[in-house]
Amino acid sequence: MTETWPVTLDLHAVEVDEDLIPALKETLLGCEDVSTPVTTALHTADFIEWATRQLTIGPTTAEAGLFDLAILNPPYRKLNTASPECGLLSDVGIAATNLYAAFVALTLRLLVPGGQLVAITPRSFCNGPYFKAFRREILATGSLRRIHVYESRSKAFQDAEVLQENVVLHMVKDAEQGDVIITSSSGGDDEAIRERVVAFATVVSPNDPNSFIHIVADERESAVAGNVRSLAAELGCIGASVSTGKVVDFRAREHLHMEPQVGTVPLLYPVHLRDGRVKWPASNGKKANAIAVNAETRRMFLPTGNYVLVKRFSSKEERRRVVASVLESGDLGTDELAVENHVNVFHHQGSGLPLQLAWGIATYLNSTTVDVFFRQFNGHTQVNATDLRSIRYPSVEQLRTLGHAARDGARDQMTIDMLVDRFVPELNGS
């Protein structure tokens, strides 16, 4: 590939941490000491303030103007909407829920048309509702040329305790979107890099209102994606919906009870979900087992019934991202129950599901195929209701027969996969 490079390089670095400035100055001086004429400028500044100022005063009078190339390894921190950063960002029309997203969105804005950006970030922006505006913004502003994914959740940033996969993005501003190169390796030291070139529509489906970014690193995974997408049904078509548990425990603290008692109903946390079923009450002494019944709490209850419960955060020990359990209507011995916010719940219009359908949904979700598919768009430990809504499901008939066979069977991974293979043949390409 031939690129036209400017004859001189005018290099700008932005860093807020004053302790790093001496080392950074030295690095920049080293950059000036090469044959290509290079001038450097170090801005000891908050990047959000600096970049929004550039954008507000406009490129003609800005101290740095617009850029041809940008490389960034931005910081990660959640931004709440009341933060000063969000105020500055909204002045330039950017909605970002994390510092890294704000840095990438601002940097794209600071590029000239045809300018290029390379950024290393967590993979969490690829899915989930919190990053929807960010995905829309970057996909509208630039074209995706290449994505590298570090598949190990722990290796790439061992020292920073970043427990999620990381990606390196290469984007070109205002360029026509063509195929995307996807490469993957396990961690920073892994020399074995796999590479695929895929149509953009397989990375971001043109029909997906959420603009999820699917990173499918090899052919086997690609076949899995094709098979899952070929399934008959969207969640709504099988008579089920999924929601996040309504009880946010720190807001309902005064109503919580460690032990069930008269005037309470069971409250289900992830700790109650074990081996594909609900084990309630739990005796670990850390989480409440019950919530008081009163006018304030009642609107958060579900009537007794068969539900599928999925942990929103899988623990490090869990092999799969999606961990689904079945609650049967007789399990708790009460007329009502409540679900805590760290659990997603599959229901039918706020009530229970037919028993076999519940078992079928849980067994399908616990399959290796769904796990492989899920990892293609979800690179972190969080499983949102939107993610579960976005995937396709087998038909009601298939789920019922699968559920019937699974209910009394073993619940080890091999048995689950064997049953899913047998009752949903589309998943192995048949």
Ligand X SMILES: C[S@@+](CC[C@H](N)C(=O)[O-])C[C@H]1O[C@@H](n2cnc3c(N)ncnc32)[C@H](O)[C@@H]1O
Binding-site ranges for ligand X (CB under 6 A)? 14-17, 20, 46-48, 73, 75
Q: Which of 306, 422, 428 is nearest to 362 (CA)?
A: 306
Least Å distance, CB 76 to ligand X, is 7
In the complex, what is the shortest distance from the CB of residue 16 to ligand X, in angstroms, rounded to a whole number?
A: 4
- Closer residue to ligand X (CB): 47 or 130: 47
The whole-angstrom separation of Cα 15 and Cα 13 is: 7
> Rounded distance, CA 322 to CA 63, Å?
49
Q: Which pairing describes strands 241-244 and 67-72: parallel, antiparallel, or unpaired?
A: unpaired
Eight-class DSSP state of 286: S
Given phi > 0 = left and psi -120 to 50 = alpha, else beta, which region is 350? left
Could you tell me which of 25, 183, 45, 21 has the C-alpha nearest to residue 106? Answer: 45
Q: Judging by DSSP bridges, how do beta strands 343-347 and 307-311 pair with one another?
A: antiparallel
| In the complex, minimum distance from the CB of residue 48 to ligand X, in angstroms, rounded to a whole number | 6
| Nearer of residues 159 and 335 to ligand X, judged by Cβ | 159
Q: Distance from CA of residue 307 to its chain's centroid?
A: 24
| Residue 46 Cβ vs ligand X, minimum distance, rounded to whole Å | 4
Helix, strand, or coil (residue 153)? coil
* Residues 398 and 424: beta-carbon distance below 8 Å: yes
The DSSP call for residue 123 is G
Nearer to ligand X, 164 or 367 (CB): 164
Looking at the Cβ atoms of 48 and 322, the one nearer to ligand X is 48
Burial of 300 (0-12, 13-18, 19+ CB in 10 A): buried
Residue number, nearest CB to ligand X: 73
* Of the candidates 118, 117, 122, 127, the residue with the CA atom closest to the CA atom of residue 98: 122
**Dist CA 85 CA 88 (whole Å):** 5
Least Å from the CB of residue 184 to ligand X: 21
CB of 99 to ligand X, least distance (A): 6
Q: Which residue's CB is nearer to ligand X, number 102 or number 383?
A: 102
Tell the smallest beta-carbon distance from residue 112 to ligand X (Å). Answer: 22
Nearer to ligand X, 168 or 223 (CB): 168
Between helix 396-407 and helix 413-423 the angle, nearest 10°, is: 150
Shortest distance in whole angstroms from residue 182 CB to ligand X: 23
Residue with smaller CB distance to ligand X, 75 or 276: 75
Helix count and strand count (H, E) for the chain:
12, 19
Of 8 and 73, CB closest to ligand X: 73
Given the complex with ligand X, which of 73 and 351 has the nearer CB atom?
73
* C-alpha count within 13 angstroms, C-beta hemisphere, residue 24: 16
How far is the C-alpha of 175 from the C-alpha of 185, rounded, in Å?
27
Task: Rank residues 18 and 317 by Cβ distance to ligand X and give the closer one.
Answer: 18
CB of 54 to ligand X, least distance (A): 13
Pick 102 or 424: Cβ nearer ligand X: 102
Nearest approach, Cβ of residue 15 and ligand X (Å): 5
| Beta bridge mates, 247 | 340
Q: Provide the terminal-to-terminal Cα distance of the chain, rounded to the nearest Å.
A: 42
Helix 355-365 crosses helix 396-407 at what angle (to 10 degrees)?
90
Give bridge partners of residue 119 from the DSSP assignment. Answer: 72, 169
